[in-house]
Amino acid sequence: MISAIIGGTGCQRIVGDDALRHEISTPYGLAVVFERKRGDDTLYLLLRHGEGHVVPPHLVNYRANIAALKQLGVTQAIGIYAVGSITSVVLPGTLGIMDQFIDFTGGGREATFFTGNGSGVRHIPMVAPFSSRLRAALIKEAARMSISIATKGTYVCTNGPRLETPAEIGMFRRWGADYVGMTAATETILANETGIEFAGTVYSINWAAGLDAEGLSFIEDEISDRIIDRLTTLVEGALSVTFAQPGH
């Protein structure tokens, strides 16, 4: 089975010195992907913001990234996302697994492969945007590793790169959002369009705007690094599980 992890803020460290670097040419541009072998299994690592974290969320070439994974034969992928907490479902410094999202990017980025003409028109259902099989694998692996993780949550995706206003966060909370970020909805949509089985995990680095008595404070880098290491180990463990009949 060929799997992938897509990481962003704080995830540069997950690549490691033993990974092979590939530049993949796609109809949407180049994408850089790192490869690690584990026995008969292949794991690809993709840094959505580029090497050195140089691409802001609204300018990430999401279509090239997902198309590259598809060209490499990836069948399942899990995204890792830094978020700001809106409710107590995922508190700062803790982990979660998404089951729904709200897309608030407002058409400010390319978020579909189906743009008409040669690429056709197709309407992808989003009743269950995240793979129930991968979510179950993450939950089982978290239990095995004694990692506390919220097993559901709604992610609201803003366009960025600016952070949100307290008024926006208040609105998102009334809508039912549990945490906020700037990338997950777009990657989830494109993965579903290509048929890549996808799940999303989150780790909270702060309270969203207006919810922190100190204004806007973030967890310490050392704590964030430890959380990312644990979450990456969890994600790799979940992806390594082989199922007879993969699917949503």
Please, what is the Cα angle at 112 between 58 and 156, to 5 degrees? 50
Strand (E) positions, 109-185? 149-150, 154-158, 179-181
| Tokens 């794991």 -> residue | 43
CA distances from 203 to 11, 132, 168, 219 (A): 12, 20, 21, 11
Ranked by mean pLDDT, the top range of 43-57, 171-185, 231-245 is 171-185
pLDDT at 214 over 70: no
- Beta bridge partners of residue 76, listed in sequence order: 3, 197
Residue 246 token pair? 């993969």
pLDDT at 247 over 50: no
What is the set of domains in the chain, with CATH numbers?
A: 2-240 (3.40.50.1580)
pLDDT at 208 over 70: yes
| pLDDT tier, 223 (very low <50, low <70, confident <90, very high otherwise) | confident
How many Cβ atoms are within 10 Å of 116's Cβ, its own excluded?
8
Q: Is 3 left (phi over 0), alpha (psi -120 to 50) or beta?
A: beta
Q: Is 53 left (phi over 0), alpha (psi -120 to 50) or beta?
A: left
Q: Which tops the pLDDT comparison, 225 or 11? A: 225
pLDDT in tens, 68-117: 999 999 999 999 999 999 999 999 999 999 999 999 998 889 999 998 88
What's the whole-number average pLDDT of the chain?
91
pLDDT at 184 over 80: yes
What was the pLDDT predicted at 243?
A: 47
Q: Say which DSSP state 55 is in.
A: S
CA distances from 21 to 17, 47, 51, 62, 151 (A): 10, 12, 11, 18, 33
pLDDT in tens, 118-139: 777 889 999 999 999 999 999 9
What was the pLDDT predicted at 25?
A: 98
pLDDT in tens, 4-15: 999 987 787 777
Q: Which amino acid appears at position 31 of this protein?
A: A
For helices 132-144 and 221-240, the axis angle rounded to 10 degrees is 120
Report if pTM > 0.85: yes
**Strand 29-38 to strand 41-47: parallel, antiparallel, or no bridges (unpaired)?**
antiparallel
Torsion of CA 105, 107, 108, 109, to 10 degrees: 100
Q: Which tops the pLDDT comparison, 243 or 62? A: 62
In contact, 62 and 108? CB cutoff 8 Å: no
| pLDDT tier, 215 (very low <50, low <70, confident <90, very high otherwise) | low
Q: What percent of the chain has pLDDT over 90?
A: 75
